[in-house]
């Protein structure tokens, strides 16, 4: 009887600590003069700011020195530079963070505020004057950057080989890209049959992905232990990237 209460109490404490750490990081980045990090994802869209960049912040400049962040936090940066791709190391200066989490809670409710905490999102930045975003060409690419670039090359390579509608569904289910949900026809069709949740990557899609690899790996003439280890490695890599 006591264990469930202890579990929920521990979860509540953990959530509170995470929120405090999130708010502290948001204050540091908001007051910083410069941040550096890696673009983990880019999405092309219409309009002036045609490149939506998810920037994982690695360090910030406090006026005297660069400081590393202990946890991964993100900024969503809207830019008109189309040459920025996932895996690029970026430097962001003279920025203003818009739609901060506390304002979002007051204006749009707790659900949107929780989204900031859940995604470790610190806010949105529109990269227009005086804000400046640029690539760090002279930094050695890390293994993490190389993996992100390989993922993006795979994504755009498949886009060229698969027809448009199939690729929209494929990218939404297996890559977490909302191409299918942005298409009115697809969105209405899935909503009509009550299958809209299939378009969002979740545990269901990890199960489908794992099942596909399960049958392929078990065709190989290797030991059962090695098969399961290989399957576990592939699944964890997919879930992470």
Structure confidence by residue, pLDDT tens digits, 125-167: 888 877 888 887 655 666 766 777 777 777 777 777 877 777 7
Q: Decide: 36 and 89 in contact? Cβ < 8 Å.
A: yes
**CA dihedral sign, ordered 55, 56, 58, 59:** positive
Q: What Cα–Cα distance (Å) separates residue 192 from each residue in 171, 176, 181?
A: 21, 21, 13
Question: Please, is 73 exposed, middle or buried when counting C-beta atoms within 10 Å of its C-beta (0-12, 13-18, 19+)?
Answer: buried
Cis peptide bond N-terminal to 130, omega within 30:
yes
Would you state the structure tokens that stand for residue 129, as one six-digit string? 């004057």
Which value, to the nearest 10 degrees, does the dihedral of the CA atoms of residues 26, 28, 33, 37 take? Answer: -70
Res 201 pLDDT > 70 = no
- Quickly state the pLDDT bin for 104 (edges 50, 70, 90): very low
- Region for 99 from its dihedrals, namely left if φ exceeds 0, alpha if ψ lies in -120 to 50, beta otherwise: left
**Residue 22: CB atoms within 10 Å:** 19
In the chain, DSSP finds a helix count (H) and a strand count (E) of 9, 6
Task: Mean pLDDT check: name the lowest of 22-36, 94-108, 110-124.
Answer: 94-108
The DSSP bridge pattern shows strands 89-93 and 34-44 to be antiparallel
What SS3 class is residue 184?
Answer: helix
Which H helix or E strand runs over 36? strand 34-44
111 Cβ neighbours under 8 A, 6+ residues apart: none
What pLDDT is attached to residue 113?
59
Res 108 pLDDT > 50 = no
Question: Please, is 148 exposed, middle or buried when counting C-beta atoms within 10 Å of its C-beta (0-12, 13-18, 19+)?
Answer: buried
- Region for 51 from its dihedrals, namely left if φ exceeds 0, alpha if ψ lies in -120 to 50, beta otherwise: beta
The C-alpha atoms of residue 238 and residue 42 are separated, in whole angstroms, by: 18
Q: Is the model more confident about 58 or about 114?
A: 58
Structure confidence by residue, pLDDT tens digits, 169-180: 777 777 766 654
- Quickly state the pLDDT bin for 109 (edges 50, 70, 90): very low
Res 84 pLDDT > 70 = yes
What pLDDT is attached to residue 99?
57
Res 105 pLDDT > 60 = no
Q: What are the backbone angles phi and psi of residue 90, rounded to the nearest 5°?
A: -125, 155
Structure confidence by residue, pLDDT tens digits, 38-78: 888 887 777 778 888 888 888 888 878 888 888 888 888 88
226 Cβ neighbours under 8 A, 6+ residues apart: none
Q: Decide: 92 and 35 in contact? Cβ < 8 Å.
A: yes
Structure confidence by residue, pLDDT tens digits, 1-45: 566 667 666 767 777 777 888 888 888 888 887 888 888 888 777
The C-alpha atoms of residue 52 and residue 71 are separated, in whole angstroms, by: 22
């Amino acid at each position: 009887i006591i264990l469930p209460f202890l579990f929920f109490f521990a979860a509540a404490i953990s959530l509170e600590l995470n929120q405090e750490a999130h708010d502290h990081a948001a204050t540091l980045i908001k007051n910083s003069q410069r941040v550096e990090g890696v673009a983990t994802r880019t999405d092309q869209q219409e309009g002036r700011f045609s490149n939506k960049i998810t920037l994982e912040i690695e360090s910030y400049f406090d006026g005297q020195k660069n400081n590393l962040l202990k946890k991964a936090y993100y900024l969503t940066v809207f830019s008109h530079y189309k040459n920025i791709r996932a895996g690029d190391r970026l430097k962001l200066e003279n920025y203003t963070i818009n739609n901060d989490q506390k304002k979002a809670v007051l204006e749009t409710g707790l659900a949107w505020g929780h989204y900031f905490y859940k995604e470790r999102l610190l806010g949105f930045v529109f990269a227009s004057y005086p804000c400046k975003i640029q690539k760090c060409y002279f930094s050695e690419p890390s293994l993490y950057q190389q993996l992100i670039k390989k993922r993006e090359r795979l994504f755009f390579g498949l886009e060229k080989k698969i027809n448009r509608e199939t690729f929209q569904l494929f990218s939404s289910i297996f890559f977490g890209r909302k191409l299918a949900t942005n298409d009115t026809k697809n969105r209405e069709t899935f909503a009509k049959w009550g299958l809209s949740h299939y378009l969002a990557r979740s545990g269901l899609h990890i199960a489908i992905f794992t099942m596909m690899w399960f049958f392929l790996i078990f065709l190989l003439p290797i030991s059962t232990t090695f098969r399961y280890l290989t399957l576990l490695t592939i699944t964890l890599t997919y879930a992470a990237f």
